Amino acid sequence: MLYRESGDFSSTYAQDSQTFPIKFDRYRYYFVLFIAIVVIPFVINDYWVNSLFLPFLIYAIAAIGLNILVGYCGQVSLGTGGFMAVGAYACYKLMTSFPDISMLVHVLISGLITAAVGVLFGLPSLRIKGFYLAVATLAAQFFLVWLFNRVPWFYNYSASGQISSPERTFFGIIITGPNTEAWATYLFCLMFVIFSAYVARNLTRGSVGRKWMAIRDMDIAAEIIGVNPLRAKLTAFAVSSFFIGISGALFFSIYLGAVEVGEVFGIQKSFLVLFMIIIGGLGSIFGSFAGAAFLVLLPVALKIVGVDWLGWPTDIVAHLQLVIVGGLIIIFLIAEPHGLAQLWRVAKEKLRLWPFPH
Amino acid sequence: MKLKLTTLALGAALAAGPAMAELVFPSLSYRTGPYAANGIPFADGYQDYFTLLNERDGGIGGEPIRMIECETGYNTEKGVECYESTKGEGALVYQPLSTGITYQLIPKATADGIPVHSMGYGRTSAKDGTVFKNIFNYPANYWDGASVAIKHLLDINDGSLEGKKIALVYHNSAYGKEPIRTLEELSEKHGFELSLLPVDHPGQEQKSQWLQIRREKPDNVIMYGWGVMNQVAIQEAANIRYPMDQFIGIWWSGSENDVRPSGAAANGYKSLTFHNVGDDFPVFADIQKYVVDSGKAAGAGDQIGTALYNRGLYAAMLAAEAAKTAQGIHNTKALTPGQMRDGMEALEITEAKMTDLGLPGFGPEFQVSCENHGGNGLVAVAQWDAAADSWSLITDFVQSDQDVLGPLVAEDAAAFAAESGITPGC
C-alpha cells in the first residue's frame, strides 16, 4: 500500500532518475527534512543536542565519508580517527590564527586540508590492496595521533597539549565555545550533514561513483574498460577524507570543545566509524545515517532505560551495554550482512504489498 | 531518520523529572574501562560518605542528599553526556576525576554557573580564582606535587640536587604533561638534570622507557601515571632493580592497586598524598555502623580504607563542608549551584573541624579565597610497606615552592583569560 509506484509517472529523464522516484518516499523525505529543519530547532535543549543530535549528525558525516572509501570504492581504511584529528587540528589552527573569519570557512578549509592529507596516505592504495592497505592506513592513524601529540605547534604550545575551541561565530551567531544556543549548533551541523549527504549521493550515482564501484567490484576489469585507477582511488580518498575532516572539525569545535588527540581520535574511533558503516550498510548513504544513529543512540537509550528507569547500578548497565551492542552486531552480521540499509529496503518491498502480500 | 521522532517522544516523557528538594551531588564515576581499578575505590568513598551523612545526620543541615551516579568510563564523550543529563537535576558541584573531562567542563560549567572541584587534578592554573571563577582545585595541584617531590629529594640529599639526574615518567596526555613546566623551572633553580619519558595510553608497554632508565641511571624517578601504567612501571622498576625509595609517584600513582602486583619488590616505593592514609579514624566506625552494616555500602564494599577510597571520602567531605558553609552564608537549606560556589570560595578547613567530623589530622588545614582557589599546596610523602601491606606517611604536610609556582600559575591563568576573553577580578 505504501511505497507504491502505480500512478506515479515520470515524463522526463530527470524525474525518472531522481533520488526518490516514488512519490510517497519523496514526501516522506521532505517531511523528515521539514521536521529536522523547522520543528526540532524549536524544541531541543542542551541535553538533547549535546547527548544525541550533535554526535549523531557528526558521526553521520564521518560515516558518509568512510562509506565512500570503503563501501563505494572498496578501499579498506582504519585511519578514520587520524583523519578526523587532522580536521580537528586544522580547524583549531585556523580558528586561532584567523579569529574573524566565519566558522563555515574554517570547517570547509579543514575538510580540504584533510582531503590533501588523505590523498597523501591514499597513495599506497595504488600498489597494495585489502588487508595490506588496512595496515597502511592503520599506520596513518598512529602516525597522525603521534604527530599531534609530539609537535607543540599544532596545539599552540599549550602546557597540557590539549586544544580547546575559542568562541567563534557564524553570521553573528555564536556556535562554538560554552555560550552557544542548542538550536544554533544543531542547525550548523545539520547544514553540513545535508550538504554532505547531497554531495555524496550525487557523486556516487554519477560517473565518479560508477568508477569507484567499478574499482571496488574488480579493479583489473575496471582498468580494461578505461577507468583510471590512480584517479579513481585518489578521488575516493580525497572526497572521503574531505567529509571525515569536516566531521573531525565539527567534532572538536562544536561538540566537544576541548580535545586530547590520543583519547578522542584514537584507534577506537576508527573502529567505531567502521562499525557504523558495516552495521548501517556498506555502499549506502542511508546506511551511514542508520549506522550512526544505531551506535550513538543505543548506548544512551540503554543508559536511560537501565539507570534512570530501572535504577540498576551504573557499572552493570555499562557492562550490559557492551554485551548488548556486541550481541546486536553479531546478530546483524549473521542475519542481515548488508546492514540496516538492506533491512530498510526489504521493509519497503514488504510495505509495497502490504496488507495483501499475494 | 525516523529514530529522531522516537527520541523526541522519549524526551517529552523524560522532561517530567522529579521535584528538586534535595542537595544533588552528581558523581561522574568510572567503574568500567581501562581505569576502572582506580575509579571504583574513589567512587565508593565519595558515595559512602554521602550515604553516611544521609543515614546519620539526615543529610547536610537537615537537607537530604541525592547522589546521581553517571558512568563515564574515563571517556570524554560520555562525560559530556553525563554532564548534560545531570546538570538539569540541580547538580551542585562536579568532580569528574579525569583531567580530560575537567578541561571540557571548565568553559561549560562556567557558562552554566555550576562549580567544578577538580581535587588534585585538572587544570592547575584554576588555582587563580580571579580568572577561573567556578573552578576549584584545593587542597593541592599537580605543580604542588612536582614541587614537593623535589623538596623531599632535597631533604634526603642534604639540601642539594646539584648535578643529579631526575627522570619523569609520565602518562602522555594532558594530565601527564602538567608537571613538565614546573620541573623545568625547578631544574634550573636547583641544578638537576631532567629527562622526560612519555608513556602512551594505556601504558602496558614500558620496556623501552625503563631500558633508557637502566642505561641513564637517573638518581631519582618521578612518575605521573594512572591506571595500569602505575603497576607496569613499578613492576618494570623492580625488574631492573631500581631502588624503590628513589622512585616517587604523584598521588594518582599511589594506591594499593599499583604496588600490590609487584609484591615484596615494591617495598619502599614512595608516593605523594594530600590526605592521610589508612582507616584509623573515628569516622570509619560510623561508616561501618551506618553504611556497611545496614547494607548500603557502595560497590562491593571491599575498598574501605584504601588510598583512593580515602580520597573519594575526602572529596565528599570537602563538598559537604562547602555546602554547610554555603547554607550558613545564604541562610538557606536548599542550595543553588551559585550558592554552592560561594560556599566553596569561603571554605575553611581547620584541625578542629576535621576532629569534629571524625577525621583528625586527615588533611592539611587550608582556607579558600577568591584569589586562591587552590589551597596552600600542602603535600606529604607516603611510603609503601609491603610486609605490612599498608601506606604510611613519612613526612608532615609540607608546602610547595610558592616562589616558583606563583608566577607560573599567574602566567597560565593570564593566557587563559586572554584566550577566552575573561576580565580577571573578584
- CB < 8 Å to A289, chain B: 1
DSSP state letter for B64 = P
pLDDT score of A198: 95
Least confident window among B108-112, B147-151, B416-420 = B416-420
The answer on pLDDT for A168 being more than 80 is yes
With CB atoms and an 8 Å threshold, state whether A164 touches B421: no
* Chain A: residue whose CA lies nearest to B36: A315
* Chain A: residue whose CA lies nearest to B78: A51
Model pTM score: 0.90
Grid look-up 532505560 returns A305
Q: Convert the pLDDT of each residue in A82-128 to its tens digit.
A: 999 999 999 999 999 998 899 999 999 999 999 999 999 999 988 88
Q: Would you call B21 an interface residue with chain A, using a CB distance cutoff of 8 Å?
A: no
Instruction: Compute CA B329 distance to the chain's CA centroid, rounded to the nearest angstrom.
Output: 27
Q: Convert the pLDDT of each residue in B251-265 to its tens digit.
A: 999 999 999 999 999
Q: What is the band of A56 on the pLDDT scale with cuts at 50, 70, 90?
A: very high
Grid look-up 562556567 returns B110
- CB < 8 Å to B13, chain A: none
Q: Would you call A266 an interface residue with chain B, using a CB distance cutoff of 8 Å?
A: yes
Q: Is residue B38 within 8 Å of B257, Cβ to Cβ?
A: yes
| HSE-CB for B288 with a 13 A CA cutoff | 8
Q: What is the band of B250 on the pLDDT scale with cuts at 50, 70, 90?
A: very high
What is the Cα–Cα distance from A3 to A22, expressed in whole angstroms? 7
pLDDT score of B164: 93
The answer on pLDDT for B268 being more than 60 is yes
pLDDT score of A355: 81
Least confident window among A96-110, A306-320, B274-288 = A306-320
Least confident window among A15-24, B201-210, B270-279 = A15-24
Burial of A325 by CB count in 10 Å (0-12 exposed, 13-18 middle, 19+ buried)? middle
Q: Which of B309, B113, B131 is nearest to B94 (CA)?
A: B113
Q: Would you call B100 an interface residue with chain A, using a CB distance cutoff of 8 Å?
A: yes
List, as one string, the DSSP characters of A213-262: HHHHH-HHHHHHTT--HHHHHHHHHHHHHHHHHHHHHHIIIIIISEE-HH
The answer on pLDDT for A2 being more than 80 is no
With CB atoms and an 8 Å threshold, state whether A318 touches B32: yes
pLDDT score of A5: 76
Q: Is residue A229 within 8 Å of A75, Cβ to Cβ?
A: no
The answer on pLDDT for A147 being more than 90 is yes
What is the Cα–Cα distance from A286 to B47, expressed in whole angstroms? 44
- CB < 8 Å to A169, chain B: none
CA A125-A339-A353 angle, to 5 degrees, is 135
| Stated length of chain A | 358
pLDDT score of B21: 66
| Interface with chain A: mutation pick from B77, B86, B125, highest number of A CBs within 10 Å | B77
CB pairs under 8 A between A and B: 125
Burial of A351 by CB count in 10 Å (0-12 exposed, 13-18 middle, 19+ buried)? middle
Q: Please give the mean pLDDT across all residues of chain A.
A: 91
In sequence order, what are the residues at sequence separation of 6 or more whose Cβ sits closer than 8 angstroms to the Cβ of residue B170? B176, B177, B179, B180, B196, B197, B198, B199, B223, B224, B225
User: Which phi and psi angles does A136 have, rounded to 5°?
Assistant: -65, -40
With CB atoms and an 8 Å threshold, state whether B4 touches A263: no
- What mean pLDDT is predicted for residues A231-236? 95
Q: Is residue B106 within 8 Å of B36, Cβ to Cβ?
A: no
Q: Which of B172, B130, B162, B169 is nearest to B146 (CA)?
A: B169
Number of neighbours of residue A136 by Cβ within 10 angstroms: 20
Which H or E run includes B210?
Answer: helix B207-216
Q: Which of B77, B96, B34, B81 is nearest to A269 (CA)?
A: B77
| Stated length of chain B | 426
- Of A257, A313, A322, nearest to B104 by CB-CB distance is A257
Q: B171 pairs with which residues across the strands?
A: B199
CA B327-B329-B330 angle, to 5 degrees, is 70
- Best-predicted range by mean pLDDT (A90-94, A129-133, A277-281, B176-180): A90-94
| Interface with chain A: mutation pick from B35, B67, B173, highest number of A CBs within 10 Å | B173
SS3 A174: strand
Q: What is the band of A321 on the pLDDT scale with cuts at 50, 70, 90?
A: confident
With CB atoms and an 8 Å threshold, state whether B108 touches A257: yes
With CB atoms and an 8 Å threshold, state whether A314 touches B177: no
* Chain B: residue whose CA lies nearest to A97: B419
Q: What is the band of A74 on the pLDDT scale with cuts at 50, 70, 90?
A: very high
Q: Convert the pLDDT of each residue in B2-57 to its tens digit.
A: 444 444 444 444 443 444 468 999 999 999 888 888 999 999 999 999 999 999 99
What letter represents residue A353's amino acid?
Answer: L
CA B312-B316-B319 angle, to 5 degrees, is 140
Calculate helix-pair angle for A339-353, A285-303, nearest 10 degrees. Answer: 100
Q: Using CB atoms and an 8 Å cut-off, which of residues 16-55 of chain A contact chain B?
A: 32, 35-36, 40, 43, 46-48, 50-52, 55
- CB < 8 Å to B36, chain A: 315
- CB < 8 Å to A259, chain B: 76
pLDDT score of B426: 80
- CB < 8 Å to B5, chain A: 35
Q: What is the band of A54 on the pLDDT scale with cuts at 50, 70, 90?
A: very high
In sequence order, what are the residues at sequence separation of 6 or more whose Cβ sits closer than 8 angstroms to the Cβ of residue B233? B169, B199, B203, B206, B210, B223, B225, B253
- Return the percentage of chain B with pLDDT > 90, whole number: 70
pLDDT score of B15: 42
Q: Which of A129, A314, A327 is nearest to B82 (CA)?
A: A314
DSSP state letter for B22 = S
| HSE-CB for A341 with a 13 A CA cutoff | 19
- Return the percentage of chain A with pLDDT > 90, whole number: 60
- Best-predicted range by mean pLDDT (A18-22, B170-174, B188-192): B188-192
SS3 B158: coil
**Alpha helices, DSSP H, located in chain A:** 13-16, 23-34, 40-43, 46-48, 54-66, 80-97, 103-122, 130-150, 182-204, 207-217, 219-224, 229-250, 261-264, 267-280, 285-303, 314-335, 339-353
The answer on pLDDT for A187 being more than 90 is yes
User: Which phi and psi angles does B127 have, rounded to 5°?
Assistant: -55, -30
Distance from CA of A46 to the nearest CA of B (A): 7
Cβ burial A183-195 (10 Å sphere, 16+ → b, else e) = bbbbbbbbebbee
* Chain B: residue whose CA lies nearest to A167: B420
Q: What is the band of B202 on the pLDDT scale with cuts at 50, 70, 90?
A: confident
Q: Using CB atoms and an 8 Å cut-off, which of residues 317-336 of chain B contact chain A?
A: none
Q: Is residue A117 within 8 Å of A85, Cβ to Cβ?
A: no
What is the Cα–Cα distance from A343 to A324, expressed in whole angstroms? 19
The answer on pLDDT for B339 being more than 90 is yes
- CB < 8 Å to A263, chain B: 75-76, 100, 173, 201
Q: Can you tell me the ipTM of this complex?
A: 0.86
Q: What is the band of A130 on the pLDDT scale with cuts at 50, 70, 90?
A: confident
| Interface with chain A: mutation pick from B5, B6, B7, highest number of A CBs within 10 Å | B7
With CB atoms and an 8 Å threshold, state whether B177 touches A160: yes
- Of A263, A293, A322, nearest to B173 by CB-CB distance is A263
| Interface with chain B: mutation pick from A19, A163, A263, A265, highest number of B CBs within 10 Å | A263
Which H or E run includes A70?
Answer: none
pLDDT score of A1: 65
What is the Cα–Cα distance from A300 to A288, expressed in whole angstroms? 19
Q: Which of B66, B80, B71 is nearest to B29 (CA)?
A: B71
With CB atoms and an 8 Å threshold, state whether B103 touches A164: yes
Burial of B414 by CB count in 10 Å (0-12 exposed, 13-18 middle, 19+ buried)? middle
CA A45-A49-A55 angle, to 5 degrees, is 170
The answer on pLDDT for A158 being more than 90 is no
Q: Would you call A301 an interface residue with chain B, using a CB distance cutoff of 8 Å?
A: yes
- CB < 8 Å to B71, chain A: 303, 307, 314-315, 317-318
Q: What is the band of A15 on the pLDDT scale with cuts at 50, 70, 90?
A: confident
- What mean pLDDT is predicted for residues B201-208? 88
Q: Is residue A223 within 8 Å of A135, Cβ to Cβ?
A: no
pLDDT score of B80: 87
Instruction: Compute CA A240 distance to the chain's CA centroid, rounded to the nearest angstrom.
Output: 10
